[in-house]
Amino acid sequence: MLLSRYDGQTQSTFTRKTSMDEDRVAGELEHAINRAKAGDEQALRYLYGRFADNVYGYAKGIVRDEHDAEDITQQVFARLMTALGSYEQRAVPFTSWLLRITHNMSIDHCRRRRSTPCEEVFGEDETARHDDRELSDAIKTALSELPEDQREVVVLRHFAGWSPGEIATSIGRSEDAVHGLHHRGRRQLKASLKKLDAAPVVALAA
């Protein structure tokens, strides 16, 4: 059975992973989601086995701590058990929906510890020129002003370190569309930071 694909996988530790496993047959993931919605434990194990390393890699790119990323990964899948009922596959790809949950929980974690990995986006030298708290708050404000699709691409690109191709696969858009969203989001982010007197001299990574 396809849903037994990850049954033998036990994960006490995680590996940072950006590429997504593909369906072995058409509709494999959709079938697993529908079964998981009905409370099928094997389907839930399948989703965990297939995506846990992706969630961990994304969370680690934001929180910059292995243990915190592991905790967030467990929390994401605990929340998945109750949130899955609200997921509509026609509205958004499952991977994008799952990583949005991961993003929100990771950002909440950063807010609680009053820290944002600014150096991952702007470079350590430039970050050191600013008060950490002020720059952290400025970046959060600037990111919150971006349209959701641009914010998702910017976070995946600069915080999680994903390639444009990997982002395109995750969010169900073409690579050209990802480049456009990235360019517009980066430009607006820099403009917002400039208005907040927090724009770094170092350009965002391409």
How would residue 192 be classed by pLDDT, with cut points 50, 70 and 90? Answer: confident
Is domain 16-113 annotated with CATH 1.10.1740.10? Answer: yes
Query: CATH class for domain 119-206?
Result: mainly alpha
More confident residue, 93 or 203: 93
Percent of the chain with pLDDT over 90: 18
Q: How many CB atoms lie within 10 A of CB 99?
A: 27
- pLDDT over threshold 50, residue 118: no
Instruction: Give the tens place of pLDDT for each residue, 41-99.
Output: 889 989 998 999 889 988 887 777 888 899 999 999 999 988 998 898 777 889 888 98
Q: How confident is the model at residue 184 (pLDDT cuts 50, 70, 90)?
A: very high
Q: What is the mean pLDDT of the chain?
A: 76
- If you write DSSP's letter for every residue of the chain in order, what string do you get? -GGGTTTT---SS-----SPPPPSSTTHHHHHHHHHHTT-HHHHHHHHHHHHHHHHHHHHHHH--HHHHHHHHHHHHHHHHHHGGG--TTTS-HHHHHHHHHHHHHHHHHHHHT---HHHHH-HHHHTTS-HHHHHHHHHHHHHTS-HHHHHHHIIIIIS---HHHHHHHHT--HHHHHHHHHHHHHHHHHHHHHTT---SSPPP-
* Residue 130 banded pLDDT, cuts 50, 70, 90: very low
Where does CATH 1.10.10.10 sit in the chain?
119-206
Tell me, what's the pLDDT at 58?
A: 84
Q: Is residue 143 very low, low, confident or very high in pLDDT (cuts 50, 70, 90)?
A: confident
Of the candidate ranges 56-70, 128-142, 145-159, the one whose mean pLDDT is the lowest: 128-142
Find where tokens 């919605």 sit: 37
- Give the model's confidence band at 193: pLDDT under 50 very low, under 70 low, under 90 confident, else very high: confident
Q: Is the pLDDT of residue 22 over 60?
A: yes
Residues of the chain within CATH 1.10.1740.10 domain(s) are 16-113
Report CA Rg, the chain: 18
More confident residue, 129 or 176: 176
Confidence of residue 155 (pLDDT cuts 50, 70, 90): confident
